[in-house]
Structure formats: structure tokens, C-alpha cells
Amino acid sequence: MPLVAVIPEPNAPVEVREVVEPDLEQNSALLEVEVSEVCGTDVYLQQGRLAGVPYPLVPGHVSVGRLQKIRGELFDVEGKRFNEGERITFLDVHRTCNACWYCLVAKAGTRCPQRKVYGITYGLDDGLCGGWSTHIYIKPGTRCIRLEAEPETFMAGGCALPTSLHAVERGDIKIGDTVLVLGSGPVGINAIVLALMRGALRVLCIGAPETRLDAASEAGAFATLNIETHDEAQRLDWVREHTSGRGADVTIEATGAPEAVVQAMRFTRDAGVVVVVGQYTDHGSTSFNPHLDLNKKHLDVRGCWGSEFSHFYRAAQIVAQRSEPWTRMSLISYGLEQANEALADVSEGRVLKALIRP
């Protein structure tokens, strides 16, 4: 019998339950989970901060495992058939319809109203759809990728990797740019690595605590600043000192704090770009001066919500071919029974990346 770690309802502790093994539909599979993860979104899911989430919920949207049983046929994006026993990961976003106005006219698949996400908007009633589980039901139409990277190395990036890849693309970083990353959690750390791959000359990072700033330096940040010991004016001065008084060419906000969005605007040079990726769940409002903070600066502020198959696919390729930055990231593993502890450690910032090993 599969075991799952489930959030019964918002603000309730995680419980481990036994569930029945699913019947496989045609062209579906049962995945034996090797590694899943705990990310900031899971903390917010436990706190009930995302609308439209069906509880009880088994979290864990990005996972790696082996195909234990396949019914019918599954193919990868190049038309190669998957076999039982192969190690895969899969895009957590399912059912993007490619038929609605958002998919076809706006070409914005992340806004498709049909889309469902494993571990977020698929609840336990939809089947074994989260990674905090011994098994995941791979529904028909799920986009699977054969994993060439080591599972731990791939999961060191985890869900933060496609998210930050999307953010770095949205930032349109140019060779020689100075990029500022606000936040030193997994998305921030991955954004540093990818901004450098994309040609940034230097990446600055403001975050906390000190252990995460060390991780930012390790990832290649040119300089870091602790947000807990520097107020907004001191942060602005620091950014200006590093950018000939102008501000960053591109700023990526990856914090989860609404006021950081306004600071991102203030820390960016005139006619620069700000990407907001840290507000995936609702943390409330903030205010800014439209004249001073936005219009007079001729700023380009871009939202970046979720990711698509192209981001996930390229993330898997990058970790397989250029794995070095991810092999150095620190990981801590927890069993299903330790899920509450893992959530608390992620929430308090005590660990950079928490993995779940069912």
C-alpha cells in the first residue's frame, strides 16, 4: 500500500496515511518516488495562502523516481518510448489545453484556466498526485523527461530551477549586465547561477541569513548584503556603490515580501528591467509612487508566474550537462514522517534545500 504525507486542511499538521494503489488508465504509469522536495510554496500551502487548492493535499510538485508500472505507452518529447524501470522526472503542470484563448492567442500557457499542478492544485481526491509519497500516479498526458543528471543534483535545483530560468529569461539579461537578485532562497540562488550563464558580468544579492548569503557567494554572486542588518537606504547605497551610482540593469525579486517589489524598482537603474517572481502566493499589498518609482524611471516591470515545459526541459538538460553549480548546493533529507520538521526548517530558513525521501 502506498504511503503519503498529507496536509488535511490549511494550518493543520501533515499526517502520514496509507492509501490504495490506483488503477492505471490507458497510457498512464505508477512512479516509485526516489526524491521529492519541500519548497517555500509548500510552506504557504500548509498556511492556506494559495486560492483554489483542494485539501486534503499531498504536496511535492517536482520529484524524481523510477517508472514501476506502465499501462499502454508513454513517450518523451522526442518520440522515444519510456520503459518500466527508467528514472524520470515530469513537469508538474498538467492539462495545459493548447485550445483556449490564453494558450492560443496570448501564448501564455501558465495562465491557461485548464492547467492543474501536481502537489498544488491536484488534491488527494484526484489520486496520488504529490511527491510526498512512496508513489505518484502519472496521469495520461503528463510530460515526462528521462533524467540524465543524478537525482540529488537535479533536486538541488528542484522546482526553483525552472522558475528561475523563466525569471532570468523574462529579465532579458544582456552580456555584461549587472544583475541584482533580491532573496537568497532556492529561486534566488538558482537565478544567480543562471544569470551568470546568460552573460551577466556581475550578480549582486541581498538576502538572509548569513548561511544563505554564503550559498549565494558559492553560486557566483560578486557581492552580498545582509537584509537583516541594513535598512532600505543602506541597501540602496550599496547597490549604487556597485553600479556607478545608477542601480542594477536587471533586478530579480525572489523574496515573497511585497515591499521587496518596490525596493526592486528603486534599486534598478532608469530604463532597466524588474522581474517579480517571488509573489507566487498572496502575501498582501504594498504601495509605491507611480511617478518616482516607475514612470519617471522608464522602468520595465514584469511579472513571472509559474513555468512551462520549455523551462523544465532546459533545466533538466542544464543540470545534466553543466552540473557543477548544483553539486555544491547543500541538501538535507527528511522521511515522510519528518515532513512537519522539514516544513518548519524551510519556513525558518534553517535549510537551503529540503528533500523528501519517502
List contacts with Zn ion (CB under 5 A): 39, 41, 97, 100, 103, 112, 159
Q: How far is the CB of 61 from Zn ion (least distance, A)?
A: 5
- DSSP assignment, residue 322? S
| Of 253, 222, 252, nearest in space to 238 by CA | 222
CB nearer to Zn ion: pick between 6 and 39: 39
- Cell 487548492, residue? 53
Strands (DSSP E) found in the chain = 3-6, 15-18, 28-38, 64-71, 87-90, 93-94, 116-117, 135-138, 144-146, 178-182, 202-207, 223-226, 248-253, 268-276, 300-303, 331-334, 353-356
Helix (H, G, I), strand (E, B) or coil at 69: strand
CB nearer to Zn ion: pick between 122 and 238: 122
CB nearer to Zn ion: pick between 112 and 277: 112
Q: CA-CA distance, 358 to 190, in Å (whole number)? A: 25
Residue 203 is which amino acid? V
Q: How far is the CB of 226 from Zn ion (least distance, A)?
A: 25
CB nearer to Zn ion: pick between 42 and 177: 42
Between the two ends of the chain, the Cα-to-Cα distance in Å is: 13
Q: How far is the CB of 59 from Zn ion (least distance, A)?
A: 9
CB nearer to Zn ion: pick between 159 and 200: 159
Q: How far is the CB of 5 from Zn ion (least distance, A)?
A: 16
C-alpha distances out from residue 9 to 56, 206, 348, Å: 6, 34, 21
Q: How far is the CB of 159 from Zn ion (least distance, A)?
A: 3
Structural contact between residues 232 and 262, judged by C-beta atoms closer than 8 angstroms:
no
CB nearer to Zn ion: pick between 300 and 345: 345
Structural contact between residues 259 and 286, judged by C-beta atoms closer than 8 angstroms:
yes
Q: How far is the CB of 202 from Zn ion (least distance, A)?
A: 28
Q: How far is the CB of 64 from Zn ion (least distance, A)?
A: 14
CB nearer to Zn ion: pick between 112 and 351: 112
Q: For residue 104, how many other CB atoms are within 10 A of its CB?
A: 12
Q: How far is the CB of 112 from Zn ion (least distance, A)?
A: 3
Q: CA-CA distance, 134 to 68, in Å (whole number)? A: 11
Structural contact between residues 16 and 337, judged by C-beta atoms closer than 8 angstroms:
yes
CB nearer to Zn ion: pick between 40 and 272: 40
Element (H, E) at 214: helix 210-218
